Amino acid sequence: MKFTRLVALLTVSVLGFSLSDAQLKLNGAGATFPYVIYSKWFDVYHQKTGIEFNYQSIGSGGGIKQVIEGTIDFGASDGPMTPEQLNEAATKQGTEVLHIPTVMGAVVLTYNLPGVGQGLKLTPDVLADIYLGQITTWNDPKLTSLNPGMNLPSQQILVAHRSDGSGTTFIFTDYLTKVSKMWEEKVRRGTSVNWPVGLGGKGNEGVSGLVKQTPGSIGYVELAYAVKNNLPYAKLRNKAGSFVEPKLESVTAAAAGAAKNMPADLRVSITNADGKDSYPICGFTWLLVYKHMRDKSKGAALVKFLRWAMTDGQSYAKGLLYAPLPKQVVSLCEAKIRQVTF
């Protein structure tokens, strides 16, 4: 009967599929913030060595959770793991989780205002007020006084934020907590917070997609996402009082101070940094790596990749609008990488 033949073919092919081929494959998941450069790195590395690093950008929250559960070989996050999360990971997986910084990026405020160009000026309190729902229209006096030359419409401000657990959110809310008392009381920092207003988009991709498609909207995304989609972004007034554009140089300036005082576990926040050239909302992004890798070949491959990322990998950063790590941080990372056993 033709049907039984079909069934047999189906079963055999499924069984045939189940044989993994000899290619070394590692699975990682996490932050959408560095997805642009990670996907480039893994593609280049695959062409160089044939090893497949399958990275899924499900958000930093997802990366942290799956690292704790042990369903992936490595994770990625731009919000450092909390002590509770680190403990849980150590208990469940029997090994510590190391944070290895890879690149730095800027969280920019991108907006969609036809007729208004690049470089809208924002101050910390105005930004906090927008995200708290206190400023609701674009032509609010607080905004027009900052931007006299710009033709701000009377439209309502459509706020966009992340709907998933996000390191980008962590960096952004970390900054807002530092600069706004009301934010600190009402919302505070986290990868997932109770947003007073706004629409949720999934991933950096989702938020930039939302802003791109919705006139009158504003959202926070990693610099690469704004630039790659020709979306304008705002100038922010930093701690020292100057309006800084989020360029790679301003990110590096922000990290300069932090590089000298890195804590041992390399988890540090560089938001609202000192220095007149620093962009106030920047952050490191980390790869979450198990200190002891169960699988020998995977462990060796991962370590090799990390070393490559610290050296050759850094050369891709600028082109993709991420800031490469300062030299001191790179040496600290290499020391950390040496701690990985397998």
* Burial degree of 244 (CB within 10 A; 0-12, 13-18, 19+): buried
Closest approach of another protein to the CB of residue 145, in Å: 23
Judged by CB under 8 A, which of 120, 135, 152, 231 binds another protein? 231
User: How many residues can be counted in the chain?
Assistant: 342
Site for another protein in 296-335 (CB under 8 A): 320
Judged by CB under 8 A, which of 121, 142, 202, 307 binds another protein? 202
Q: Torsion angle of alpha carbons 256, 58, 42, 87, nearest 10°?
A: 60
Judged by CB under 8 A, which of 48, 94, 144, 200 binds another protein? 200
- Output 20 or 261, the one with its CB closest to another protein: 20
- Considering the rule CB under 8 A, would residue 139 count as an interface residue with another protein? no
The pattern of x and - marking residues 167 through 196 that bind another protein according to CB under 8 A reads --------------------xxxxxxxxx-
Structural Rg of the chain based on CA atoms: 22
- Considering the rule CB under 8 A, would residue 56 count as an interface residue with another protein? yes
Instruction: Give the whole-angstrom CA distance, residue 129 versus residue 131.
Output: 5
Angle between helices 167-179 and 60-69 (to 10 degrees): 120
Judged by CB under 8 A, which of 48, 181, 228, 338 binds another protein? 228
Look-up of token digits 């990985």:
340
Q: How far is CA 257 from CA 139, 239, 254, 278, 310, in A?
A: 37, 13, 7, 10, 20
- Output 9 or 335, the one with its CB closest to another protein: 9
Site for another protein in 83-112 (CB under 8 A): 84-85, 88
Closest approach of another protein to the CB of residue 291, in Å: 17
Q: Which range binds another protein by CB under 8 A, 68-76, 238-246, 296-304, 306-314?
A: 68-76
Any bridge partners for residue 341, and if so which?
292
